[in-house]
Structure 1
Amino acid sequence: MPLTCLLRCNDLSRTREHYQRILGFAVSDGAESTLLVQLQDCRLTFTEQDLWGSAPGCTGTLYFALEDVQAYFDSIKDRADIAWPLQDMPYGTREFGIRDCNGYYLAFMQGQPVPD
């Protein structure tokens, strides 16, 4: 079941440019001044509206499961703000992380975490 997060952003135009040009996402306008971004079957929705009464922020990392994480890493590594490099994790995934233009941490992974 796909999940779509609604996130507050600082600037829709800047977010559009970042996700389209830097990260290679498909980008489209949504309803009521929102921006939809998609990579494979992973989606995010951004708004400039202050629906939560606070600045943009998240205390977690948003994970995107990809078919070929190595190819995606190679395509963006020289343009994106890499938070941690592509690596094999002890819990069974191959992943890397970035920090987007709004300060959100995104991780891109391949494989399934191994349950304890």
Structure 2
Amino acid sequence: MKTTLMHVRANVSNLQRSIEWYEKVLGFKVTGAWPPEKPNYAHFDAEKGAIFSIAEDRRVPSNGRFNFYVSDVDHLWEEIKHKAEIVEELCDTPYGSRKFTIRDLYGNELGFVKE
């Protein structure tokens, strides 16, 4: 059986504050929110790969790590290294990748890896 990852979600305590952070710091664009009258969930535009979303849930922190492939990891590093908490600075790994990791407002780790 072939399996393809289609969707990942990080839990946050404040949806609106998180949306603003993801848009301002990372340049992500919200493409949907639910329910329409008072959203507690939002997902972001993804050109390819799994959909990344956030959901307001004060009971269950996710505190996971989500890695994103990007075409120019060096450029992205220069744009956001002073806007976010750094977990791992831009580096070349022993296994051949180039990457860095930051933390969002609620402790979720976001890794960015050269595609």
TM-score bracket, normalised by the shorter chain, equals 0.7 to 0.9
Any residues of structure 2 matched to 1:18-97 within 5 Å, and which? Answer: 18-32=21-35, 33=39, 34-38=41-45, 40-41=47-48, 43-49=51-57, 54-58=59-63, 60-97=64-101
Counterpart Cα distance in 1 of 2:20 and 2:68: 20
Answering whether residue 17 of structure 2 is matched by residue 10 of structure 1, we say no
Closer, same or farther: CA 73–41 of 1 in aligned 2, 3 Å: farther
Identical aligned pairs, as a percentage? 29
Q: Secondary structure at 1:36's aligned position in 2?
A: strand
Tell whether the 8 Å contact from 1:94 to 1:109 is kept in structure 2 after alignment: yes
Q: Stretches of 4+ moved more than 4 A in 1?
A: none
Paired residues, number: 107
CA RMSD of aligned residues (A): 2.0
The more displaced of 35-44 and 61-70 is 35-44
Counterpart Cα distance in 1 of 2:85 and 2:68: 16
Q: Secondary structure at 1:109's aligned position in 2?
A: strand
Offset at 1:92? 1.0
State the partner residue of 1:114: none
Offset at 1:19? 0.2
**Structure 2 unmatched runs, 5+:** none
Offset at 1:3? 3.1
Q: Could you tell me the TM-score, scaled by structure 1's length?
A: 0.79
Offset at 1:8? 1.8
Closer, same or farther: CA 69–78 of 1 in aligned 2, 3 Å: same
Counterpart Cα distance in 1 of 2:110 and 2:30: 17
